[in-house]
Amino acid sequence: MSKKLKILVTGGAGFIGSHAVEKLLTLNYQVIIIDNFDDFYSPAIKHKNLENIIDHPNLQLIAHDVRDIHNIKALENINIHSIIHLAAIPGVRKSGIDPKQFININIESNNAVIAFAQSQNINKIIFASSSSVYGDHPSQPWHEELDNLHPLSPYARYKLECEHTGETFASTANNQFISLRFFSVYGPRMRPDLAMYRFAEKIANDQPIEVYGNGSSYRDYTYIDDIIAGIIASIHYDKHGFDIFNLAHGENIPLINMISALEKSLDKKARCKFLPKFEEESAGTWADIQKAKNTLSYHPKTDFASGIKAFCRWYKQTHLSNV
Ligand SMILES: NC(=O)c1ccc[n+]([C@@H]2O[C@H](COP(=O)([O-])OP(=O)(O)OC[C@H]3O[C@@H](n4cnc5c(N)ncnc54)[C@H](O)[C@@H]3O)[C@@H](O)[C@H]2O)c1
């Protein structure tokens, strides 16, 4: 089989990144990862994420900070087709505590990636944006044309700012910036700071879980394989300019249902301790995915019941010694 295009994936050792890289390699792309293995959560988990692919002949791993991308000699003049820019610190809540760190990393990473693309004549950037940019917009399900957005956290504000910088990049002839607004991604290898993972861990170990709000908040949970299908489809979508796509399942699942699904799959009862809602988080997220369906042929395949079973199966196999 002949080798395909070269794709640069920033944050490729993370949850979404490692799945994206795995898929790209099976599709015979050449892949370069830049990841600095930051300690937002254990770097050992990120190394483990790559254990099945690390020796793949079409993969090159560069352990480096993406903000310093212009100093990476190995990346000069090597004909990169596109950049999938996932590197960021992801925590909505943490961004309220230390917004400066989020500017330093998330905004500067995006600026560095764009400047690098310009210097190397790379025309295409696919950017990981977030459902959080919609804040608590009352018009649901949210579609990409909604304006007057009021993100609730610094993390979300900076995602929106990165989209705006991307739009400027895309205004140059032949350039393309695709902003994918991911909605609550879950599945095997998911980030340990995310509620679903923390709840699974606590329920499995018979510990109480802390539920913020009364359980009626809802999320449009999206299974990792569907997100990856949307990313891959974006590589093939080559209309120049700026585009935004919601990548979601298109369904709103109340928190309390998520907890029941975990209980069922883990065959354990949750003990819930209810605490006040976090102001920086949307009360509910729900996406209109018609644009991605029509333009990217994005058709999410994993329903919530099957997805949560797959997540719990993975969790039990990797974390519980008695299974
Ligand atoms: N997981 C979700 O539900 C979700 C939802 C919306 C948006 N996103 C976005 O998707 C992207 C990936 O998220 P994830 O859940 O896989 O997170 P993750 O933390 O697992 O992955 C991010 C990776 O980026 C790396 N990184 C961070 N800063 C870096 C830097 N300066 N240089 C190089 N590498 C750096 C980290 O080491 C990590 O491996 C992020 O941009 C996140 O904001 C995720």
The answer as to whether 312 is a domain residue is: no
- pLDDT score at 277: 86
- Rounded to an integer, the average pLDDT of 236-251 is 97
H or E, element range at 177: strand 176-182
**215-219, 248-252, 257-261 — which is least confidently predicted?**
215-219
Q: What is the pLDDT of residues 55-90, one digit of tens each?
A: 999 999 999 999 999 999 999 989 999 999 999 999
Supply the range of the domain harboring residue 119.
Answer: 6-185+222-250+286-301
pLDDT value at 3 more than 80? no
The answer as to whether 317 is a domain residue is: no
Instruction: List the catalytic residue out of 134, 155, 186, 298.
Output: 155
Give the closest residue (by CA) to ligand 1 atom 10. Answer: 128
In this prediction, residue 1 has a pLDDT band, given cuts at 50, 70 and 90, of very low
Cβ atoms within 10 Å, residue 275? 10
The answer as to whether 197 is a domain residue is: no
**Amino acid code (one letter) for 301:** K
- Rounded to an integer, the average pLDDT of 101-121 is 95
The answer as to whether 96 is a domain residue is: yes
Q: Ligand 1, closest atom to CA 90?
A: 43
pLDDT value at 32 more than 60? yes
Give the closest residue (by CA) to ligand 1 atom 23. Answer: 11
In this prediction, residue 261 has a pLDDT band, given cuts at 50, 70 and 90, of very high
How far, in Å, is the centroid of ligand 1 from the Cα of 2? 31
12: Cβ contacts below 8 Å, ≥ 6 apart: 18, 20, 21, 31, 33, 34, 35, 50, 61, 84, 86
Quote the crossing angle between the two packed helices 304-319 and 195-204, to the nearest 10°: 60
162: Cβ contacts below 8 Å, ≥ 6 apart: 106, 107, 110, 127, 129, 179
The answer as to whether 148 is a domain residue is: yes
pLDDT value at 100 more than 90? no
Tokens 């989209």, located at residue: 163
- pLDDT score at 209: 96
Compute the C-alpha angle 170/171/176, nearest 5°.
Answer: 25
The answer as to whether 212 is a domain residue is: no
**Rg (the chain; Cα; Å):** 19
Q: What is the CATH number of the domain that holds 118?
A: 3.40.50.720
The answer as to whether 281 is a domain residue is: no
**Amino acid code (one letter) for 58:** N
Asked whether 17 lines ligand 1 (CB < 6 A), one says: yes
Q: What is the pLDDT of residues 124-178, one digit of tens each?
A: 999 999 999 999 999 999 999 999 999 999 999 999 999 999 999 999 999 999 9
Number of domains in the chain: 1
Burial of 105 (0-12, 13-18, 19+ CB in 10 A): buried
Cα 175 → chain centroid: 23
Share of the chain above pLDDT 70, in %: 98
The answer as to whether 211 is a domain residue is: no
**Mean pLDDT for the chain overall:** 95
Question: Which of the listed ranges 84-98, 184-198, 271-285 does the model predict with the highest average pLDDT?
Answer: 184-198
Compute the C-alpha angle 84/140/245, nearest 5°.
Answer: 20
- pLDDT score at 297: 98
110: Cβ contacts below 8 Å, ≥ 6 apart: 85, 127, 162, 165, 166
Residue 155 is a catalytic residue: yes
- Rounded to an integer, the average pLDDT of 103-118 is 96
- pLDDT score at 2: 53
For residue 274, CA distances in Å to 24, 213, 253, 284 come to 42, 6, 18, 17
pLDDT value at 321 more than 90? no
- pLDDT score at 102: 83
Asked whether 300 lines ligand 1 (CB < 6 A), one says: no
Question: Cis ω on the peptide bond leading into residue 57 (within 30° of 0)?
Answer: no
pLDDT value at 31 more than 70? yes
Q: What is the pLDDT of residues 286-295, one digit of tens each?
A: 999 999 999 9
